[in-house]
Amino acid sequence: MTQGPRPSTCERQNHFEITQYDLQDELYEHEWEALQELKGQAGSITKYFTDRFIAAALMSRKFDIKRTVKLLKANIKWRMSNNYERLPRWEDLNIELLSDRFANYIPGSRGKDGSGIMYATIRNLVPGKFSKKTFIKDVLEFCLWDLSDGFFYEQMDVFRNGLQVVLDFSEVSMKNIDIGLAKKLNSALLENFPMRISRIWILKPPTVFSAVVSACRIFVKKKIMDRVKIATQEEIQEYIDAGELAAEFGGNLEVTTLNYIEFIRDAVGVKRNEQKRLRRKGEKVNTKKSTKKSRKNLDLSSEKSKSEITVTEETSIMNESEDPGGAISSDSQKDGNLDDYLSSHPTGDNEDESS
């Protein structure tokens, strides 16, 4: 089916701007119909997620309903098994990981095919300078936050078209490499959260790079490794316009990690102000076009039992169909014992589910 990177019913968002539409306006007609079909077929599993999260899951599994339901169940099962009933919030994260300019993301920036673009400068990551006890946990929680909240400040086209990752390996040595971290992220994220990796660009690989690739091939699926490409900055611009590519990676876009930190802090502030306003007025979220949206976090925690779904006070005022976030539906407050659900709806084998 021929289609552009986004429907004509929504305009592209600008860099570092939160501009979202009603979910139906951000989806093509066949995508909206697939979402309704899944909700009709999948039963009670869908009440634990917002429509926006489910749509992202559908996109990551190429609108295969069976595989999408499997992903949703795997998400719940992994989080319950790894004590992430409550997903990390921005204020929970170790921002020092970003302040070292290791990774960056530019909301609204897109490749020529409409994909999002993530950056990492590997030499700026020195695991030895962080606590050995918490380093992997800190990075994992940052990624969990990104895939459950951070990316949902974007429009849905970033899930439809996937993500290009640009990695600068210049001046990298073994002190910058943590295979245990890579293995943990691979097992935790690729099978349990909705995001497609379309390309992984490697700039200026050092001699240790071949050893890193060999190690990763042991636990990363072949289809993902086949998307790893060594390239020059000029070659990357065949896929990403210079005006969309960060300057330090060969483009013209002058941004720093601080721009992203400020964007998220502002976005979180917008969310909290909107939540306070709604609590005062007892209103529901307005979803007219081009309004800034408040966010909510996917929270499976409970004071009574880890297996019983509840939502936080901030979340409970939101309605699933109106909130844009990759978050739990407020309907899940009604019943929803996850242990009972998972025991009667096993996730099955997750082999070869990532796309």
Question: Is 52 part of any domain?
Answer: no
In eight-state DSSP terms, residue 10 is S
Interior angle at CA 34, CA 32 and CA 36, nearest 5: 70
The reply to whether 104 falls in a domain is yes
How far apart CA 39 and CA 28 sit, in angstroms, is 17
- For the entire predicted model, the pTM comes to 0.78
**Residue 96, in any domain of the structure:** yes
Residue 243 in any domain: the answer is yes
pLDDT in tens, 197-211: 999 999 999 999 999
What burial class does residue 174 get, using C-beta atoms within 10 Å of its C-beta: 0-12 exposed, 13-18 middle, 19+ buried? exposed
CA 229 to chain CA mean position, Å: 22
Tokens encoding 170: 């210049």
| Neighbouring-strand partners of residue 105 | 118
Tell me the CATH number at 213: 3.40.525.10
Is residue 177 situated within a structural domain? yes
- How many separate domains does the chain show? 1
Q: Does 46 reside within a domain?
A: no
Helix H or strand E encompassing 118: strand 116-121
The CA distance from 26 to 100, in Å, is 35
Assess if residue 115 is contained within a domain: yes
More confident residue, 292 or 108: 108
The arithmetic mean of pLDDT across residues 111-129, rounded, is: 91
pLDDT reported for residue 265: 86
In the block, tokens 């634990």 appear at: 48
C-alpha distances out from residue 340 to 42, 175, 300, 343, Å: 16, 45, 14, 5
DSSP state of 42: H
Q: What tens digit of pLDDT does each residue of 38-65 get? A: 999 988 888 888 899 999 999 999 999 9
Which domain covers residue 201, as residue numbers? Answer: 90-260
Measured CA to CA in angstroms, residue 228 lies from 122, 220, 231 at distances of: 15, 11, 10
Indicate the pLDDT class of residue 21, thresholds 50, 70 and 90. confident
Type of residue found at 25: D
CB 336 within 8 A of CB 308: yes
Q: What is the pLDDT of residue 316?
A: 28
Report if residue 315 sits inside a domain: no
What is the distance between the alpha carbons of residues 237 and 68, in angstroms, rounded to a whole number?
33
Q: Is the pLDDT of residue 189 over 70?
A: yes
